[in-house]
Structure 1
C-alpha cells in the first residue's frame, strides 16, 4: 500500500505544480507552491488519500514553532510521513514520502493531530478558495495520468 500512496502523492504534487503554473487557486498561496502551501496541500492530499484508499489511517499534523510563531503541516498515512511541501525549506530538495520521521518535527515540535472530518470537511480555508473546485480540478488532472 505504501507504493500506492507514494504514487498518489507524486501525482497530486504534480497537479499542485501545474495549478501553480496555471494560477488556479487550489488553496492559500498555491500560486507559490510549495512555499507557504503546506496547510492546503496537506489537507487536500489527506482528503484524497481518504477517498482513494479508504482503509488507510489518515491524519494531518500541524507543527508549531513557538520561538518564531510559525506553523508547518504534513500528513500521516498508516503512521508514515508524507510532506509534499518540505522542499520549501533549506536542506530539502524533494518531498518526504512514506518515511518514519520528519526532520522538521524538531523545529515544529508542538504537534497537533487533525483527524476525521476536521481534516477537510470541517476545514474553512477562507478567502476565495472553493474546496469542491479544488477537488474537481485535482481529480480531473489525476484522471488524465
Structure 2
C-alpha cells in the first residue's frame, strides 16, 4: 500500500490524523446542511448530489492542512455513461463523505476498497477544480468556520 506523504520532504502524515480531520468535516457537512454556514454547490441537499463539491472541499483541505501531494479525486462512472460518483483517494486510502446518499451505505473514512466504488467501474482521475472555489474553502478553514 502506498504511503501518505507530504510535499517538500516533510515528515509523513499519520492516517489517523487524516481520518480525524475527515470525520470533523463530515460532522460539519451534516450541520451545514441545516445551518447554511458555508455555501457550496448542492450543499442544501447534502449528501445528495454534492459528491463532486464535497470531494473538492476535502481535497483542498487535505492539501492545505497536511501539504499532501498524493491526493486525487476519482470520478467513477457506470457503463451507461450518465451516472457518476466522486470520492477522494490519498495514496491507497479512499474517503467518501457522501456515500450515505446511496441506500445501505455510510460515509467512508480511509478504506482500502468498497463495493460502492466497484459499482462505478470506470474510474478516472478528475482534474477539474472550478466547481468549488479553493480560496473560499481555505479561507473558511483558516478562519475556523470549517473544522478540519
Q: Deviations over 1:26-73 (max 9, x none)?
A: 322111111111001011101111111114521110001132611100
SS of equivalent to 2:36: coil
Quick one: which of 114, 134, 138 aligns to 2:137? 134
Corresponding residue pairs, total = 134
Residues 1:124 and 2:126 aligned together: no
Paired with 1:13 and 1:28, the residues of 2 have a C-alpha distance of 16
Are 1:57 and 2:70 counterparts?
yes
Instruction: Identify the residue that residue 90 of structure 2 maps to in structure 1.
Output: 77
Q: Deviations over 1:70-108 (max 9, x none)?
A: 11000101211111110110111x311111102122221
Q: Distance in 1 between matches of 2:30 and 2:140?
A: 12
Q: What is the TM-score with the length of structure 1 in the denominator?
A: 0.80
Please name the residue that 1:19 is paired with.
32
Structure 2 alignment gaps of length 5 or more: 1-13
Structure 1 unaligned regions, length at least 5: none
Q: Residue 95 in 1 paired to residue 107 in 2?
A: yes
Cα RMSD for the two superposed structures: 2.2
Using the size of structure 2 for normalisation, the TM-score is 0.79
